[in-house]
Amino acid sequence: MSMNRSVKPTGRYSGVAMLLHWLIAALIVWGFALGWIMTDIPGITPTKLRYFSWHKWIGVTVLALVLVRILWRATHASPALPGSMAGWERAAAHAGHFALYLLMVAIPVTGYFYSSAAGIQVVYLGIWPLPTIIGPDKVLKGVLRLVHIALNYTLLAVVVLHVLAVVKHQLLDRQNILSRMLPFGTPRD
């Protein structure tokens, strides 16, 4: 398969790209909500442990899907940005997408390393034990916990900016940019 970086003429992302986008987005929202809820549960309870497991499974799934999405994006053309979009907006869109991909990889990796440093093996879906990359380390555990949390809040900020940019282009600039990532509607410049 050759690298196809030419502009996709239809003005819309492929069905696979749309599916990956919305599935990853839903999983991230679910994982973030679980992370927030589970850390507020006092003590060690069966519910808290179950939420931690689900949170880790979501993280592993997101990482796998993001890697598929990166491969898909590298081998399939993306629709062109609207011609009426200013140069700085194009640069901001590219920087924002780069930040999203970077964070979607870094967050599950830091969570995985955090579990390893805490001495807790990740068992995906309760069936497949994943390898422990680093051994238990109290200091590293604390650092990785803070990094994992900081990256999550950074992702939240970038996602809010991403959504605000879509709203701006959709409602103020009338560029109908949202239709590029929806399976219905008519994309236009």
Q: Is the pLDDT of residue 35 over 80?
A: yes
**Res 2 pLDDT > 50:** no
The band of 170, judged by pLDDT with boundaries at 50, 70 and 90, is confident
Q: Would you say domain 15-79+88-181 falls under CATH 1.20.950? A: yes
Domain ranges of the chain: 15-79+88-181
Q: 182 pLDDT exceeds 60?
A: yes
CB 72 within 8 A of CB 20: yes
pLDDT at 124: 96
Question: Phi and psi (nearest 5°) for 5?
Answer: -105, 10
Residue 41, amino acid: I
- Rounded Cα distance between 136 and 124, Å, is 19
Do 186 and 179 form a contact (C-beta atoms < 8 A)?
A: yes
Phi, psi angles (nearest 5°) of residue 45: -120, 160
DSSP H/E element including 48: helix 46-75
Residue 110 has a pLDDT of: 98
Write down the pTM of the prediction: 0.88
pLDDT tens for each residue of 84-133: 888 999 999 999 999 999 999 999 999 999 999 999 999 999 999 999 98
Q: Is the dihedral of CA 4, 9, 13, 14 positive or negative?
A: negative
